[in-house]
Amino acid sequence: MDTKELLKKVRKIEIKTRRLSDHIFGGEYHSTFKGRGMTFSEVRQYQFGDDVRNIDWNVTARYNEPFVKVFEEERELTMMLMVDVSGSELFGTVNQFKKEVITEISATLAFSALQNNDKVGLILFSDVVELYIPPKKGKSHILRIIRELIEFQPKSNKTDVSQALKFMSSVMKKKAIIFVLSDFMSDDYEQTLRIAGKRHDVTGIRVYDRMEEGIPDLGMVQMEDEETGESMLVNTASRRIRSQYAKFYKEKVDYFGDAFTKSGAGTLSCRVDESYVKKLLGYFKRRG
């Protein structure tokens, strides 16, 4: 992709997603995530009505009268976008690839954070961390993130959500808002997700195509795995094969829901031919 075409694509996404974040998501984002981070401010004498859970027992013992810890809401939050760039994201049968929808959702979230004067960072991952952009503020930084989402070429086509979560936990020491965007056609990430969920506010956004949910009866079809590159001839007329695939797909979807729920994280599923605007708004309102 040449520079002129890239800038045109960036501008197109900016115009669409900036309008959404300015008029729709800005307020919802702020009300959903404000006050998630609290920092210690001072110790003062206990007053009637104070939460007894905030009593500082060390200071109380020293002065022989009750003192409480006072916390302030963190005005500045940090958002980290964790985006799957494996081969399976280059799939789509209606209007857009999964990758394109993920890019638009990411841009909308990033501009919503910008409107709230928050920092935004980016992790692009396959079965390794392909790119890490540390959190920063500013429009030029958001546009750089969008450029990377559009043009980045991963070294690997495979997926490992667990490795990406481990990396995120190692670089993000303070509590952050984490969005993991993927089709989640992988597993074995529940343990690392639980660790991440203890410190951070995590949401998994699953983007999928309706044709992935089941194999239609089309007779003998040549199929290729986008992640492994393996090509095979599949008899889609076989009920057994269609049933096995449906079971495999359901197991991945169920694992996604169970793993995130057990980790105290939020989930959102969006089909490429559905409105991600309605999905995001509904999620923010439920969380707010």
Domain boundaries, the chain: 3-33+75-287, 38-73
Alpha-carbon gap, residue 231 to 252, rounded angstroms: 22
pLDDT tens profile 32-68? 776 555 666 678 888 888 888 889 999 899 889 999 8
Residue with tokens 């997603």: 17
β-strands 38-45, 220-224 pairing: unpaired
Q: What angle do CA 202, 264, 262 make, to 5 degrees?
A: 120
pLDDT tens profile 227-280? 677 788 887 788 898 899 889 999 999 999 999 999 999 999 999 999 898 898
Closest by CA position to 187, among listed 246, 130, 258: 258
For 34, 51, 275, the CA distances from 278, given in Å and listed in that order, are 21, 38, 6
Residue with tokens 């790119």: 131
Element (H, E) at 102: helix 98-115
Instruction: Report the predicted TM-score, pTM, of the whole model to 2 decimal places.
Output: 0.80
β-strands 129-136, 119-125 pairing: antiparallel
Specify the CATH class of 3-33+75-287 in words.
Answer: alpha beta
